[in-house]
Structure 1
Amino acid sequence: SVEEAVFAYQAGRMHLQTVVSVLMNGAVVRTTAGRIIFNSVLPESQQFLNEIVDKKELKKIIADCLDASGSEKAVELLDNVKDLAIEYITKSGMSWGMDDLVVPEKKAELIADADKLVEQVQEHYNMGLLTDDERRAKVIEIWTKTKNEVTAVCQAALDKNSPAYAMINSGARGSWGQTTQMMGMKGLVINPSGETIELPVKANFKEGFEVLEFFISTHGARKGLTDTALRTANAGYLTRRLVDVAQDIVIVSNDCGTDEGFTITKKDSADMGETVSNRLLGRVLAKDVVNSKGKVLVSAGMLVTKKEAELVESSDVEEATIRSVLTCALDRGICKACYGFDLATNSMVKMGSAVGIIAAQSIGEPGTQLTMRTFHTGGVAGADITQGLPRVEELFEARPLKKSAIISDVDGDIVEIVEENKQQVINVSHLANVAEEYTVKKSDKVAVADEEKVRKGQVLYENADGEVKARIKGTVKVLKNKITLFGEEEKIRAFPVPAGYSIWVKKGDHIVAGMQLTEGSLDLYELLALRGVEAVNKYIIHEIQYIYSSQGQKLNDKHIEVIIRQMFARFKVLDPKGTDLVIGDVVSRSTLKDANMAAKEKGNEKAATEPVLLGITKSSLSVDSFLSAASFQETAKILIDAAVSGKVDQLRGLKENVIIGKLIPVGTGFATHHPELAALENPTSAEEVAAE
């Protein structure tokens, strides 16, 4: 029985890990005393866990307990697991020594094979069959492959019962990368400028390095330390800018009532390494989720809980449209329905939650992880991720790129890809709008009517020289002395491709405006002009998720959405119409809404505007509150401008209130708890906003 197994262990008759057969619920189960003791602290609702419990599994157990039994039981479980772990880790006296790491016998053979392959590549180079760049790339490829093979051999060579294996495999400490460097080979390292040195370090730390190996390893070791010192500051500064741009985004309403949403597709999700159901969890649906047969799985307006997410997971759903922070209709703050779950409690977000600051911290904190990871891998090539953080910064600051991908600005078909002056050119055939003008004399006989549709070759008018025919089909505009023919004509648009870029399209492909033709990052401003705001939103989310997930960092979409909302929080006035705005002005969402409301009350038309994309620094400096902007950067300039133009700060955000020593308008200081804080500005209280 279970009790007998535990008693036998306590009496010293068997080990914690001795395999025993135990009668459990009428069935014989092969397990160990250790697993029985571990299961004794789990909630009764949990099934008997007869498997290795590592970090990942432990997370799952706690999440299941939270779902099934609530937070009190989960806290109890955490306490019990912690006590149990500390007790047994103390008893085990677990430690490891260098003898636990055995250098695999097969290592020498693998390195000898790689040396032969490198010799062959060198011979091919000497014969003139390879360029220097190709030779270098092939050598690096050979050693990268060998390092991976050595890693696999090391994993197999390590005793499954050794403390070192337990530490790595459980996820408690260390990684296979570090273990391989100690018992296999260090592999390729990088020089200070970030290029891979083609000479590998064949030795491991246990065997000791040769002089040259030691010397080239110092690059990586120093790079690890300097990177940590320098890049931590960068990540901290990025967090500060993110906090600044998003600080006044607070939950101020139950539902803004919008019917717009953000579409999640299976393809995009797979690129980010996520499933559609995972991205739907904790969000409110803007449209029904239907499967391939047209059956409604989850209705619009519903909050997607674990149950609904599992239903979506098990069906063939290609896409779903969710309510999103990006499309929330409120001019200040956002509503509960557009935000969804508070990820700290896995329940609907509460009124007055400072979701902007949470978003900034959720992006910034793993950003510091992105940076510091270099330190742990000692500058080994392939593991260095200093590229990650600057790319995140480049996206959030919406910087124009020095080297961006080629994007098509026309719809058409690729006729050919040719090489001109050592540069490849993509030629696209497309229909372009043209207007042809014909001057008509009084004596000429016009054969078409105004606004008439004409075909190619149709007679337009007759003059002394004979008939004049339409060169293209289209519509004519007839004036007293002029005929204008508006139509479409096939033209060739050439896209020159910079050297070194790989082309993503081929002859015969049909392309649309905004489509990427070559490798490289997209220019956000170009993408906005060609495909609009939604395409830019999707691209930023996709790129940032890719950077974080490739480093094993989980980041929820809604945090990125909050920041993007602030990047698009300004609008350029194209035509003021019935408002008192000025053409060319860049105004905030709330200023625009107020101006449009005032115009509507007078029976006038709304202003025609277009969204403006601003980087987070510019967005922070262009906020309505001068106190908030001045406390961020360029203090003197902002205060002088505010004084000269007699600005009034409504103290709506968090920073402004901290500066003057008032309660901040979030959490317990939010107007729903303190009606006296309703002086924050109209519409202040959540009730009023909800009523709107």
Structure 2
Amino acid sequence: MMFVSNLESIKLRLASTEEILDWSYGEVTKPETINYRTQRPEKDGLFCEAIFGPTKDYECYCGKYKKVRYRGVVCDKCGVEVTKASVRRERMGHIKLASPVSHIWFLKGVPTRIGIVLDISLQKVEEVIYFISYIIIDVNEEAKQEILEEIEDEYKTRVKAAKNEVKRIEKNEKKQEKLLKEKLDELKDAFKKAKDELASLTLFKVLSENEYHRLALKYGEVFEAGTGAETVKDLFEKMDLDQEIKVIEEDLKVKKSVSDQKSMLRRLKLLKSLRKSGVRPEWMFLDVLPVLPPDLRPMVQLDGGRYASSDLNDLYRRVINRNNRLKYLLEINAPDVIVRNEKRMLQEAVDALIDNKMRKGTTTQASTGGRRLLKSLADMLSGKQGRFRQNLLGKRVDYSGRSVIVVGPKLKLSECGIPKKMALELFKPFVIKKLLEKELAYNVKTASRLIEDEGDEVWASLEEVVKEKLVLLNRAPTLHRLGIQAFYPILIEGEAIQLHPLVCTAFNADFDGDQMAIHLPLSKNAQEESKQRMLSSKNLLKPATGDPIAIPTKDMVLGCYWLTKVIKKGKGEGKIFKDRKEALLAYNLGIIDIRAKIKIDKEGKLIETSAGRIIFNETLPEDFPYQNEIMNSKNIKKVIGKLIEDYNDGIVEILDNIKKLGFEWCTRSGITWGMVDLVTPKEKPGLIKEAEKKIKEVEGYYEEGLLSKDEKKTQVIEIWKNVKTEIEKLVPKYISEGPVYDIVDSGSRGSWSQPVQMAGMKGLVANPAGEIIELAIKDSYKEGLSVLGYFSSTHGARKGTADTALRTSMSGYLTRRLVDVAHDVI
């Protein structure tokens, strides 16, 4: 038996007909799969038990031999070997083709291997293989020389005859010369054409059908030509690789053009590689087609009695049907046209089986309706869902789960909420151990049954098991180290995983349907490593830059901003307090507004602050400098950076307190906004009128020829840019108070460009080529876009979406290649 550990290396190479027959356990001659009455495989069909092995362990097809004692016996009645049913995953069959066909990878792959061996282009090789053109397979040099001599003799005879004829017709010497020259030129051209035509008849030259028929009539005995894969295969069989290599090496010594040398070197490299690996070029053609084991292309019965079948069965069925029809046509000596067409169809059927996507224009589609492409053998191997990446390189992990994520605002930074049912499945072995320890069950079987019943004692045991254990959460794509972090699980009701809001930035997660995977580190060492290195509370800095990454965002920032913003003429403005406690007492008694400007004594000095700022500072350590400024995202980031630097131990609690404070005051602030909050500047119509006036002037200059088209476009764009800049300055002034200003100024969401587009004007947009369209969109979203403006803006929106998809796939592929290359290093 072959074990993976015994293998030193694996080499992929072409298989000869003998090797394919050696793999095979029998010939598949019928396209049938399963008998609709008996529900058993058809004999000699694609699921035949005599070829591929029994469908039931140690039982032949007819039932004569049953049980393991008859292992290895071949039934004399049905021909099935009594063995395990698992051999149906290993045993291959074969189809004996009535005519050889080419392997599509070596024909249409870039560069075309068959084309390189023949030294002709892909297009010409395809024409020969698909019976459109002919290829010269033999040239009789003696006959060629004889015909050349005959042509020369005929030319001399005709020249003599022409001279005599001219003398007879024309007596005037000058006219005689002119007429003779015309006649001789005509003969010379005809002679040259015939000579060149004959010289062009060389080995491997491709002729169109018309050329072939014309030249065959003239020089039938000089050359022999054929068409189809059979012809090219015969050529390859006769080819002596050593001789071909010798000829190319001799030719390379003679000076040739760079392109000729390049093609010769490419051909030489391929021929030497074939010789070195012991592969014959004719193996690129198939006389015998291997048939995949049936359990790798299964047919499954559905509830309604219908069958779901692998696409490969359809593709094999087409090959067998066409092959059987071709055999019949050859037996009855059908006309050449019909036989050739059937051979071409067989070639196309085999192409579709091997690689359906490689066939340009003529892909084979499913017969079940729709326009779905059938999955060929190559599709089963290639791509993300293929055998290599999905099964061989892909890893499936035990003790893992997956669910949608929701926000857990009450969680601590190092915690995550895990649904009880998910946790029970993840921690099952530990729960079983706990149940056995408590003597609630006496063996694994009864403990498993208790778990299935989900009794109170099971949930109690689960609570005990989960304590002090860590789980890993991962969100794909894992683009940096913080894509996987460790958390202490908190058991919750429901089906979704709860995630702490501060770790969302590191995971690049949001709560619009994102999913996350959960893994359980099993050993003590794994748990310890998770605690020391992967715990979310120990991964507060971004690995790339060292900046804080677990920082409040969105609602949390907005809450802190609103709380620490000082307003004019607030209740109790100007009041002076002895210390923070007195100020907070006054706020609690309703004497002052939380955002009113007040003064408090700070180390013998009076400082202007607000009750809100005092409340914010209560979340910070006592010895931390008093933060007497508005807490927008920038300032919060600065504060947290300083806290991480100086107060490493208590930082997690501080972060949780800031989060809690932010959410609370965002809720209590009641911040919201509507259309009324977006005020369009009064100056806008005047600015646009002035711009249009300037543009008219520019267009006038252009029409007079004072400006080129490009200069006109540049000036128009510049005018609109200036208008947009003016409006950008005006919009914040008009909405300097109110929720929109607070949301943007706090840095919790958006930027000023968005209110400018909503209340001011959309401005200039670019087309898909990246060029700025000179027709600016004058309207704002509040006013509503014109038809022209709407269509101009769709350009950018569509391009943005397409670019995002393309960029993501390209960067993902680059990452994959880098990881594959660095496998040995890691």
- Using structure 2 for the length normalisation, give the TM-score: 0.29
- Using structure 1 for the length normalisation, give the TM-score: 0.35
Per residue, is there more strand in 1 or in 2?
A: 1
User: Which entry has the higher C-alpha Rg, 1 or 2?
Assistant: 2
Per residue, is there more helix in 1 or in 2?
A: 2
